[in-house]
Amino acid sequence: MDKNGNAYTFIFAIAMVIVVGVALSFTATQLKPLQDENVRQEKMQNILSTFVGEKINVEGEEKELTRDVASEVYGEFVSEEISLDNKGNVKKDVDAFKVNLAKELSKPNDERTYPLYVANYGEDKFYIVPLRGSGLWGPIWGYIALKDDINTIKGVVFDHAGETAGLGAEITTDWFMERFTDEVIYDADGSLIGVAVVKGYSGGTDKSDNAVDAISGATITGDGVSDMIQNILKNYEPYFKELKKSDKVAIR
């Protein structure tokens, strides 16, 4: 075959596409278990970090909360993984840890599953709720840990797919996430309204006004965080109300 001819070039191109495609497919297949394990460990790390921060005390020893450490100690501190429907009923046949909230939110509300994690750290109990919403350029997500009164925030973790560096991407910084610590999600009338990210906030250190200061130049992303917290938490309210009627919740 003439190597300078069009037929040779065409056949060679097809062969290269097949070879590269097979190689990429093989590589992806081989790496998938490792990728899945990384996702699993990162999820555990994020859940734990909402109530322990960057370090965790394990049997009197303080350790950096790395993915490996999170994977090792997760079961020691997370005592329950609960799957709920939109009415607050427990779905006993669903593994909460495997629930993909992004996929659930694409379903009709009465078909969704909402995961809830219950953790104990020291003498304190926490309820950790996964979050999912929309920023300026794409999805944003995270976790929020509530103290045992199911009102006061212990800590949050936020992440994003493509927010602008130095602007919306700042939702992942410690200084922004720390603003939510000790904020409350219910107002004075007992209505669940979450925590609003407010531009020009002037409340200082007030932790009872359901608001924190916004990120300069990131109004849309901040609004996305506000909406995400309120919209997701409302789905857990029926379950929370039943808990508050029991003796399992510390009323303050």
- Residues 172 and 158: their CA atoms lie apart, in Å, by 5
Compute how many other C-beta atoms are within 10 angstroms of the C-beta atom of residue 106. Answer: 9
Are residues 123 and 145 in contact, defined by beta-carbon separation less than 8 angstroms?
A: no
Q: Burial level of 75, CB count in 10 A (0-12/13-18/19+)?
A: exposed
Domain count, the chain: 1
Sign of CA dihedral 99, 104, 109, 110: negative
In a domain, 207, yes or no: yes
In a domain, 5, yes or no: no
In a domain, 97, yes or no: yes
In a domain, 210, yes or no: yes
Q: What is the pLDDT of residue 16?
A: 81
Are residues 192 and 233 in contact, defined by beta-carbon separation less than 8 angstroms?
A: yes
Sign of CA dihedral 80, 82, 87, 92: negative
Buried residues in 30-61 as b, exposed as e (16+ CB within 10 A): eeeeeeeeeebbebbbbbbbbbbeeebeeeee
In a domain, 200, yes or no: yes
Domain that holds residue 105: 80-245
Averages of pLDDT over runs of 10 residues in the chain (252 residues) are 64 77 70 74 97 92 94 96 96 95 95 97 96 97 97 97 95 97 96 95 90 95 97 96 76 48
In a domain, 91, yes or no: yes
Nearest to 58 by CA among 72, 41, 40, 38: 72
In a domain, 173, yes or no: yes
In a domain, 232, yes or no: yes
Q: What is the pLDDT of residue 130?
A: 98
DSSP character at residue 213: E
